[in-house]
Amino acid sequence: MTIHKGRGFACINYPIGMNLGGDPSQALVHSTPDGKFKVALSAIDLGQGMKSVTRQLAAETLGVPVEDVYVDTADSDTGPHDMGSFASRGTHRVGNAVIQASREARGLLLEAAAEELEVNASDLETDGKGNINVKGAPSRSIAVAETAIAAQFKQGRTISGRGIFLIPTSDVDPETGEMTPVSCFAHAAVVVDLQVDDETGEVEVLEINSAYEVGRALNPKMVEQQLIGGAWMGVSHALYETTEPYYPNRDHGPTDFNQYLMPGPGEVVNHNIAVLERPAEDAPYGGKGPGEMCANPLLPGVANAVYNAVGVRVDALPITPEKILRGIQAIGGARPQGMR
Amino acid sequence: MAKTPVQFTLNGTHRAHFVDGGANLLDVLRREVGDLSPKYGCGQGTCGTCTVLINGEPHLSCLTLAESVEGKSLETTSGMANGPDLHPLQRIFMESFAAQCGYCTPGMLMAAKALLAGNPNPTREEVIEGISGNICRCTGYEPIIDAILQAAVELRSGRVA
């Protein structure tokens, strides 16, 4: 029995969102009479933090404290249309819609404030703390809450905004076959270190090092968290998880959770992440969002590391001990890459 | 089918319920008692999100017969906070991003609470062992392990209740 160490590298060019039907997301923003803002979305937060990020984007654009914004994703029946939370599209598509809606609402907020202060709306600025000031004359000021009350009960107008983000249609050039299906790419590179036992075929991941380029990290702590968790999900797909272990033969598939293999807390390894920020032009404040990309490169990374360790190229996931042992048998013994 | 009376305490409050023979504790807590904090995950004792404490010990409520908790003391995550003050474990889970979708969180908190009650100064390996019956799909476990270790430090220092 010999333990072979291996290192695998993989990188990814990840298209944010999809192009189907323009991939639209809508957002509606309105103020309540007490000067808080509601953002209505039909995209759902599955735990990746979309509610927090869209809340930040709305607060930043409106110029109000983040505490004064509530994001409502409760009902896709009554909310504005959205394609959904998938394809890593939340931050980019929904975020852009939220910014557009918040800009319109901000314009109406400043108009209402201008009427109260008897100044021109273009002379007003928000302080981000719940006040609207006359530029250069901060003593001439009105609270956002007062403005909302005036708009509701005196001026008879709403402070609200509509937003939609739609990808322009990209046709295929009949001459060259070229098209531009995606406007925003994120990137990553990962290095996976692992070891393979050539007697049992077992793989133990030792360490992960990675660099992820996600545009501006709108919520850095949440980005880091999603990268750590998502990368581990990638390792899990590479080595453990399947509903059809002998695909296309459906025998031996798990029938319930008891037979579905997933790594537990004992398998977790150290993962060093470098987050790189290269803001995209059409991204909300430059943020592309990590999304699925945190998991994807780990799969080829693990496959390459196994090849590096024992010379077996497994081309069907997951990379199980059985596949590795059959591979070792086929090549007449483990052949670490440096020794061929 | 005849119902069986069962009396127990839940987070310090005395409860009495009539339960169906063979009903599991998770169903009774969620449907009869109305405590929705223990979650239904796999329903077969694999995922750990239904974990509750029975006389201080972690148990999978989906595999526990409701009748068997007669006279016992039950704890769930809904009893962890003291009024508006979160339990240190809850607060540090929140601050450390130890929850993403949140579905495993009640079970993780219960497992962590039981662990720290019996072992206030656990090693990293002991924390991993302590939550090894609980599956998390989002976080990659690291933030959860870190949060439990940090809560252990705070609880030992006595700075918090």
What's A99's domain CATH number?
3.30.365.10
Q: Is residue A174 part of a domain?
A: no
A188, A321: one domain? yes
| Res A339: pLDDT | 60
Q: Which residues of A touch B (CB under 8 A)?
A: 46-49, 221-222, 224-226, 228-233, 256-258, 262, 264-266, 268, 271
CB contact under 8 A, A265 and B143: no
* A229 contacts on B by Cβ (under 8 Å): 100, 138-140, 143
Q: Is residue A249 part of a domain?
A: yes
* A225 contacts on B by Cβ (under 8 Å): 97, 100, 139, 143
* A48 contacts on B by Cβ (under 8 Å): 100
A239, A283: one domain? yes
A119, A244: one domain? no
**Count: domains in chain A:** 2
A271, A225: one domain? yes
A8, A80: one domain? no
Strand order across the beta sheet in which A131-134 lies = A124-126, A131-134, A137-143
Q: Is residue A31 part of a domain?
A: yes
A109, A188: one domain? no
A234, A140: one domain? no
Q: Are B134 and B145 in contact (CB under 8 A)?
A: no
Domains of chain B as residue ranges with CATH: 3-79 (3.10.20.30), 88-157 (1.10.150.120)
Q: Is residue A257 part of a domain?
A: yes
In terms of CA atoms, which chain B residue is nearest residue A292? B138
Peptide bond before A65: cis, by omega within 30 degrees of 0?
A: no
* B46 contacts on A by Cβ (under 8 Å): 257-258
A10, A34: one domain? no
| Res B161: pLDDT | 46
Q: What does the pLDDT profile of chain A (340 residues) look like in tens digits? A: 799 999 999 999 999 998 778 899 999 999 999 999 999 999 999 888 899 999 999 999 999 999 999 999 978 888 999 999 998 999 999 999 999 999 999 999 999 999 999 999 999 999 999 999 999 998 899 999 999 999 999 999 999 999 999 988 888 899 999 988 788 999 999 999 999 999 999 999 999 999 999 999 999 999 999 999 999 999 999 999 999 989 889 889 998 888 889 888 999 999 999 999 999 889 999 999 888 999 999 999 999 999 999 999 999 999 999 999 999 999 999 999 876 5
What ipTM score was computed for the predicted complex, to two decimals?
A: 0.85
Best of B49, B97, B145 to substitute, by most chain A Cβ atoms within 10 angstroms, is B97
The residue count for chain B: 161
The residue count for chain A: 340
- Pick from B46, B132, B143: which is nearest to A225 by CB? B143
Using the 3D structure, point to which of A131, A165, A199 is the last residue of a domain: A165
CB contact under 8 A, A233 and B142: no
Q: Is residue A172 part of a domain?
A: no
Closest CA to A309 of A193, A170, A146, A168: A193
Q: Is residue A176 part of a domain?
A: no
CA distances from residue B23 to A98, A282, A321, B68 in whole angstroms, order as listed: 47, 55, 40, 10
Cα A307 from Cα A203, distance rounded (Å)? 12
| Res B10: pLDDT | 98
The range of the structural domain enclosing residue A219 comes to 3-15+184-330
Using the 3D structure, point to which of A165, A197, A221 is the last residue of a domain: A165
pLDDT tens string B29-55: 999 999 999 999 999 999 999 999 999
| Res A196: pLDDT | 98
Strands (E), B13-118: 13-20, 51-54, 57-60, 73-75
A147, A106: one domain? yes
Q: Is residue A338 part of a domain?
A: no
CB contact under 8 A, B97 and A266: no
Distance from CA of A270 to the nearest CA of B (A): 9
Q: What does the pLDDT profile of chain B (161 residues) look like in tens digits? A: 689 999 999 999 999 999 998 999 999 999 999 999 999 999 999 999 999 999 999 999 999 999 999 999 999 999 999 999 999 999 999 999 999 899 999 999 999 999 999 999 999 999 999 999 999 989 999 999 999 999 999 999 975 54
Using the 3D structure, point to which of A135, A165, A195 is the last residue of a domain: A165
* B143 contacts on A by Cβ (under 8 Å): 225, 228-229
**Looking only at Cα atoms, what is the longest distance across chain B?**
52
